[in-house]
């Protein structure tokens, strides 16, 4: 029996790619020199696409594949997938929530600690032989401080839980106050920022949250505040952030995501009040394996007519 076609938008985790290659006739969109011609060749047969939060799925590809019915997206965030176009065309979109929650929360904590307690600059201090000439400067503390979370979803709650272990006072902002959550709620990001020392951004990306952390929010956090971004580069006004960090108007930042990643504003490279990471929130072998398995399972469920394990609410 011939294998179904699967269009893969960009390179995925190696073991996941191997599983997909075994089950489908895969077509590597990113490798195709003539993309319209590839889409034309599979337009009559291709019902499935595999992609990721990073690679996304554009309306023009959706339009070129009239038989498309299922999208398996690797990652919890799917702001780069044109879900409205999928919905309009009756295409089901699936993502990979839950399995990455704890690793993303751990990564967030690695960023909090390394930013506030200066782990990275201390490492450089030792390697550069500066310790031989004198003691290193001291830092702010983390335990017992006030931490604000923008986006108290599954990952936000896992970050908060770890924060409680550090004796922190947690507060949050989201679209609305959550029933059953006892942490103080602030109706705007600026109000939350004014009342905490460490502000963690973990809200989904997309139009609704574009530059949610504005210049005003950054100013409210202030020279003694720290901003941690594990969500999407788009959620922060990056230009305002770089300026505030360079001029000392913001104490520090730990950043896993950027507006034009993998391009990172070079001004940040010179600053030692910033810790930079290459979008690795979920980047452990364990979690990436589990995420890949969810992509494989969602696609397989579609082809055998079973309920999809994790369809996004918009296309349900
Ligand atoms: C992935 C992520 O690395 O889950 C997400 O939304 O940002 C990350 O876990 C990303 O989706 C892969 O491109």
CATH number of domain containing 212: 3.40.50.720
Q: Averaged over 252-273, what is the pLDDT?
A: 98
Task: Examine the domain organization and report whether 160 and 268 are in the same domain.
Answer: yes
Residue 25 to residue 299: CA distance in whole angstroms: 13
Task: Examine the domain organization and report whether 202 and 308 are in the same domain.
Answer: no
The 3-class secondary structure across 250-316, one letter per residue, is CCEEEECCCCCCCCCCHHHHHCCCEEECCCCCCCCHHHHHHHHHHHHHHHHHHHHCCCCCCECHHHC
Task: Examine the domain organization and report whether 156 and 270 are in the same domain.
Answer: yes
pLDDT digits (tens, 9 = 90+) for 207-218: 999 999 999 999
Residue 1 has pLDDT above 90, yes or no: no
The pLDDT value recorded for residue 41 is: 98
Q: Which domain holds residue 110?
A: 101-276
Site residues for ligand 1, CB cut-off 6 Å: 52-54, 74-77, 100, 279, 281-282
Q: How many domains does the chain have?
A: 2
Residue 303 to residue 49: CA distance in whole angstroms: 12
pLDDT tier, 40 (very low <50, low <70, confident <90, very high otherwise): very high
Phi, psi of 159, rounded to the nearest 5 degrees: -70, -45
Task: Examine the domain organization and report whether 120 and 255 are in the same domain.
Answer: yes
| Residue 281 located in a structural domain | no
pLDDT digits (tens, 9 = 90+) for 260-269: 999 999 999 9
Q: What share of the chain is helix, strand, coil (3-state, %, to 5)?
A: 40, 15, 40
Residue 39 to residue 34: CA distance in whole angstroms: 9
Residue 97 to residue 78: CA distance in whole angstroms: 11
The pLDDT value recorded for residue 95 is: 98
Task: Examine the domain organization and report whether 241 and 310 are in the same domain.
Answer: no
Probe target for ligand 1 pocket from 14, 72, 74, with the most ligand atoms within 8 Å of CB: 74
Task: Examine the domain organization and report whether 106 and 202 are in the same domain.
Answer: yes
pLDDT digits (tens, 9 = 90+) for 102-141: 999 999 999 999 999 999 999 999 999 999 999 999 999 9
Q: Which residue has the tokens 């941690």?
A: 228
Task: Examine the domain organization and report whether 60 and 9 are in the same domain.
Answer: yes
Task: Examine the domain organization and report whether 60 and 207 are in the same domain.
Answer: no
Phi, psi of 49, rounded to the nearest 5 degrees: -130, 140
Task: Examine the domain organization and report whether 181 and 267 are in the same domain.
Answer: yes
Tell me the two tokens of residue 201.
């951004």
- DSSP annotation of 214 reads -
Q: What mean pLDDT, rounded, does the chain reach?
A: 98
Answer yes or no: pTM beyond 0.85.
yes
Task: Examine the domain organization and report whether 253 and 119 are in the same domain.
Answer: yes
Catalytic residues: 232, 261, 279
pLDDT tier, 204 (very low <50, low <70, confident <90, very high otherwise): very high
The pLDDT value recorded for residue 270 is: 96
Probe target for ligand 1 pocket from 75, 97, 262, with the most ligand atoms within 8 Å of CB: 75
């Amino acid at each position: 029996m011939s294998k179904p076609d699967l269009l893969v938008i960009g390179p995925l985790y190696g073991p996941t790619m191997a599983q997909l290659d075994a089950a489908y006739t895969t077509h590597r969109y990113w490798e195709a020199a003539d993309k319209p011609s590839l889409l034309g060749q599979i337009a009559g047969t291709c019902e499935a696409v595999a992609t990721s939060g990073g690679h996304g799925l554009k309306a023009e590809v959706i339009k070129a594949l009239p038989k498309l019915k299922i999208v398996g997206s690797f990652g919890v965030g799917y702001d780069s997938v044109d879900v409205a176009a999928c919905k309009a065309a009756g295409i089901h979109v699936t993502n990979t929530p839950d399995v990455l929650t704890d690793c993303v929360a751990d990564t967030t904590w690695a960023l909090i600690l390394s930013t506030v307690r200066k782990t990275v600059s201390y490492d450089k201090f030792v390697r550069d032989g500066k310790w031989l000439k004198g003691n290193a400067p001291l830092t702010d503390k983390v335990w017992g401080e006030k931490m604000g979370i923008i986006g108290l979803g599954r990952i936000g709650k896992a970050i908060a839980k770890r924060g409680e272990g550090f004796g922190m006072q947690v507060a949050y902002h989201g679209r609305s106050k959550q029933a059953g959550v006892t942490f103080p709620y602030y109706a705007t990001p600026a109000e939350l920022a004014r009342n905490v020392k460490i502000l963690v951004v973990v809200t989904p990306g997309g139009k609704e949250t574009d530059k949610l952390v504005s210049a005003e929010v950054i100013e409210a956090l202030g020279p003694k505040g720290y901003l941690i971004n594990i969500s999407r580069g788009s959620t922060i006004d990056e230009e305002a952030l770089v300026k505030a960090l360079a001029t000392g108007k913001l104490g520090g930042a730990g950043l896993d995501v950027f507006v034009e990643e993998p391009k990172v504003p070079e001004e940040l490279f010179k600053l030692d009040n910033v810790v930079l990471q290459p979008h690795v929130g979920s980047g452990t072998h364990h979690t990436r394996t589990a995420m890949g398995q969810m992509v494989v399972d969602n696609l397989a469920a579609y082809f055998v007519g079973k309920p999809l394990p994790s369809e996004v609410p918009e296309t349900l």
